[in-house]
A and B are shown apart, each in its own frame.
Chain A
Amino acid sequence: MIWRGLTILFNAVLLAACASASDETGSLAPSPAAETASSPLVSDLVPVTFDLGLPDWMPPPLEPASNRLNAAKAELGRRLFYDVRLSANETKSCASCHRQELAFTDGLPVSPGVTGQLTPRNSMSLANVAYAPVLTWSNPLLHTLEQQALVPLLGQEPVEMGMANLDAELVDRLKAEPIYRELFPRAFPEKQGEISLATVVRALSAFQRTLISANSPYDRYRYEGDIDAMPEAAIRGEALFFSEKFECHHCHNNINMNDTIIHARAPHPEIAFNNTGLYNIDGKGAYPPGNTGIAELTGRPEDMGRFKAPSLRNVAITAPYMHDGSIATLDGVLDHYAAGGRTITNGPHAGVGRNNPLKSSFVPGFDMTSEERADLIAFLRSLTDEAFLTNPKYSDPWKKEP
């Protein structure tokens, strides 16, 4: 106690020496007090310099400095992405759950792995996934595609591609393919063309970073000045989407129409997880077991039901919706938000989501006329990028082989 008192007194004496020139000459704040620490997340990331064909308005995404994108790596990653040899029984590739014509989703509520076991969550679109500072619906710890690729490849709960403990088998399979014996050395000359899990996930990540969607009618309308790109209904819908009444924009407002993003012009990653009142099983905010949002990883009860807002790019063709695919249509999604949270009347998940105590305050509910509903749907349909869905650069390269 005495020492503390003396220290304070001593500090006061030091401060009193304020007329001395030395502490008035420069920065006025002691530097340790200024909290300007950068996120460790960004230290290893650099802007992609490989030509992604981005329009001028679109900032480049970032990539790990240890896995720079180039044409050879992207081409190898594309081969691997469409290769069923990456699954235990050679029945599924990444593309099984990420189909280009569905904006790299699979059209299912949840997805079966190689054993038939279902994932708990809905396959997310890979459009512009390079801009995601956290991946999947609800994992705040999963920051890079390189890490993420290991989840479907090796995951055992649930089993997706089922490659756990089959590392050597995977390498043998890939070595047997003549195309890979060419592509790995071109993609990884610094590793002497090593064929390994490490190079596989790096190439897969490189290909995924090339999946750029930036040519929807709304992109052309908003960023390229083409006022004829969208129908009048969609333009009215845009005004509703960005209105305070509907509040959609609160969580869907960046270039990918969500609120979790990092890119070359945004030095700090923005990351958000919100509870939208989709469930309220016990009246205290509970979501179904196995789908509790980031609470599953943080262990914090107040994180129950907090999921990442998905990008709305191509949303009209990525049904069904929500983290568990539990809403079949866009109309159903609008009903959920109009009610300020979904009410389930029967079954094990019954509950009034509107009263979920952990729900975001930006989901209060709203009244909506049938005209407003139609306009909002028209706007959401204008987010579909047909060129992305058919771009030959993203298609299955094995089909082209004679």
Chain B
Amino acid sequence: MLSRISGRTASAAILALFLGACATSAGPIGGDNPITIRFDARVGDKPARCGETYTDVGTSRAAIFLQDFRIYVSNVRLIRADGAEVPFALTPDNQWQNDKVALLDFENATGNCNGNAAMNNAVRGNVPAGDYTGLAFEIGVPYELNHKDPTLASAPLNYSGLTWPWRIGYKFTTIDLDTANKPATASHAPAMQGMGGMAASGFSIHLGSTECGAGSPTTPPTAPCDNPNRPTYRLDGFDLTRQTVVLDLAALLAGTDVTVNAPGSASGCMAFVADDDCIAIMERFGLAFRGKASSGQTFVKGG
């Protein structure tokens, strides 16, 4: 056992050394050669997948298991060695991406997941040839695509499980969790009245635009929503040839007790300004909430 650990540690150290040496010498990429940017959803160190149980999540160190984990990514740019941001042209494939937005899909409809069997952990496209040392992107659906009737949309905007009424637009993140800490405990029972309760049987993280003006939920807003809630992530020193963009659910939930739900609010955090469950989560998405800026996102990192 000891030899295994030490061997691993040593090789990991060597690997890190080599990777470090390579980061600035990858050479030009792009041009005629399509590029695949890899993503992975994780809970801490573990891949976030249907059918797995994850423990020690959030402030109550709860156990969770996935019901859904899908995310829209847009406005992808690569950062050139000279610091310039170069647009990354998505390759439309009529299933995972059009020319403006890509869908990452980490659920496969097994275990407790609803959804579909297919998965997608990458964004594909082209950039002009060059030396690139980083990556920037947004989580979200661009405004011009976000507020149309989703039943008329084409891929990847045609999954009914990922939609809100179109005044609000799409769920930029559809992360639905089942929490093991259920059912409601006796002390929470009196709060189980009306909409929401305190004890939660599940916890959802549905990021989307809010404050989109008055009017029918099935009509588009006349101007961009007050809270677009499309966080931008920039990974400098990210080696596109070797690294993966990691979306860490454990880090996103580090300040949240997923076993309770703020009274009178939607299950989990659905981005609404009145929902106290969103305070800690929006902070970690890197989004301002109730006028307070985030001190820095923790959800996305290079891995």
Contacts and interface: CB of A to CB of B under 8 A. Distances in A.
Nearest to B201: A361
A9 B14 CA distance: 8
B187 interface: no
A89 B154 CA distance: 48
Interface in A334-369: 340, 354-362, 364-367
A353 B204 CA distance: 21
A303 B112 CA distance: 7
Contacts of A361: 176, 200-204, 267-268
A222 B33 CA distance: 44
A33 B8 contact: no
Interface string B141-181: 00000000111111100111101110000000000101000
Nearest to A20: B27
B266 A2 contact: no
B96 interface: yes
Contact of A270 (B12, B96, B115): B115
A171 B261 CA distance: 60
A176 interface: no
Interface in A281-324: 302-303
Contacts of A267: 94-95, 155
A238 B166 CA distance: 13
Interface in A30-48: 33-41
A35 B33 CA distance: 20
Contacts of B203: 361
A274 interface: yes
B134 to A, nearest CB: 14
A24 B36 contact: no
Contact of A18 (B26, B36, B38): B26
A71 interface: no
Interface stretch (B17-25, B80-88, B293-301): B17-25
B120 A18 contact: no
Interface residues of A, number: 73
B46 interface: no
Interface in B127-143: none
Nearest to A239: B216
A9 B6 CA distance: 12
B109 A271 contact: yes
Contacts of B35: 27-28
Contact of B182 (A33, A39, A357): A357
Contacts of B3: 1-2, 5
Among A2, A18, A360, which residue has the most Cβ atoms of chain B within 10 A?
A18
Nearest to B21: A16
Interface stretch (B191-199, B224-232, B248-256): B191-199
A25 to B, nearest CB: 5
B157 to A, nearest CB: 10
B184 interface: yes
Can you list the 6 inter-chain pairs with the closest CB atoms, starting with the nearest? Answer: A5-B7, A361-B202, A272-B114, A357-B183, A16-B18, A39-B117
Interface of B: 3-4, 7-8, 10-12, 14-15, 18-19, 21-22, 25-29, 33-38, 94-96, 109, 112, 114-122, 149-155, 158-161, 163-165, 176, 178, 182-184, 192-197, 200-204, 216-218, 240-242, 266-268, 270, 272
25 contacts: A1-B3, A1-B4, A4-B7, A5-B11, A8-B15, A11-B15, A15-B15, A16-B21, A21-B27, A24-B28, A27-B36, A28-B36, A29-B37, A36-B96, A244-B270, A265-B155, A268-B118, A268-B159, A269-B117, A270-B116, A271-B114, A357-B201, A361-B267, A364-B197, A365-B193
